[in-house]
């Protein structure tokens, strides 16, 4: 059974870098043909796709976050990671990692999700 | 960026009744649309992809239809476990975007 688990600090100071890791078990990132994505949900609000990565390192990022996002993969640990720099209170959210189907032009449906981790940006 | 608009924002339905949720795209997304269910404190769960294909393990009472800009999620006979928030997502145009959600509540 595929499982994803987010980990990282729950509190980040404004202007600093948010760093999260997603550990995948039950499937190998490097042998599957899926993308691996990050999605966030501010308190009481809807979902926002942050970006996704393929095991080769190819990425798709949401331009709304401009150049603040870096997504990387470590196939030896079966993990992928998110870094979001220069955070503000607006980045406070539940952050989810998920597996994504490989679509025709970009990653598409998200079929397995982690439970999510709460990240608060505050001094 | 494609804007996904879901309606209604809240739908009050009696158990056993039929629920119809709508999702409209600001421009055509073909059939590149998915539906998710989210319960409080949980991650979203994939229900439908490709606009009308049920994901693995999803009961037959959930069905999706539509293409282009108009999509519908129908729950044929609401069970107690179906009261939740439902989101649509398009992945035809980059970046992929979600609707704001429809809350299905007990009437």
Mean pLDDT of A88-112: 92
Contact A64 B1 (CB under 8 A): yes
> What pLDDT does A30 receive?
87
* pLDDT tens figures, A15-74: 999 999 999 999 899 877 899 999 999 999 999 999 999 988 899 999 999 789 999 999
Gap from A47 CA to chain B (nearest CA, Å): 6
> What pLDDT does A107 receive?
85
Q: Indicate whether A104 pLDDT > 80.
A: no
CB B96 within 8 A of CB A108: yes
> What pLDDT does A103 receive?
80
* pLDDT tens figures, A74-97: 999 999 999 999 999 999 999 999
Instruction: Pick A109's closest partner by Cβ from B46, B99, B100.
Output: B46
**Dihedral Cα A47, A50, A51, A52, nearest 10 deg:** -50
Q: Indicate whether A112 pLDDT > 90.
A: yes
> What pLDDT does A74 receive?
95
Mean pLDDT of B29-41: 96
Beta strand B102-106 with B33-38 is unpaired
Q: Is A102 on the interface with B (CB under 8 A)?
A: no
CB contacts, 8 Å: A48 with chain B: 98
């Amino acid at each position: 059974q595929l499982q994803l688990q987010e980990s990282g600090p729950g509190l980040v100071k404004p202007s600093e870098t948010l760093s999260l890791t997603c550990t995948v078990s039950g499937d190998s990132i490097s042998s599957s043909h899926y993308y691996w994505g990050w999605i966030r949900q501010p308190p009481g609000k809807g979902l926002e796709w942050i970006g996704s990565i393929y095991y080769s390192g190819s990425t798709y990022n949401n331009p709304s976050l401009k150049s603040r996002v870096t997504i990387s993969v470590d196939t030896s640990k079966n993990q992928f990671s998110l870094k979001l720099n220069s955070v503000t209170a607006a980045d406070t959210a539940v952050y989810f990692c998920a597996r994504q189907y490989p679509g025709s032009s970009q990653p598409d449906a998200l079929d397995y999700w982690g439970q999510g981790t709460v990240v608060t940006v505050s001094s | 960026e494609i804007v996904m608009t879901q309606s209604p924002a809240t739908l009050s339905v009696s158990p056993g009744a039929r629920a119809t949720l709508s999702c409209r795209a600001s421009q055509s997304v073909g059939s590149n649309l998915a539906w998710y269910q989210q319960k409080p404190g949980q991650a979203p769960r994939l229900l439908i992809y490709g606009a009308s294909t049920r994901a693995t393990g999803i009961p037959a009472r959930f069905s999706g239809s539509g293409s282009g800009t108009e999509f519908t999620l129908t729950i044929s006979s609401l069970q107690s476990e179906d009261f939740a928030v439902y989101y649509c997502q398009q992945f035809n145009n980059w970046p992929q975007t979600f609707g704001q959600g429809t809350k299905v509540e007990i009437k």
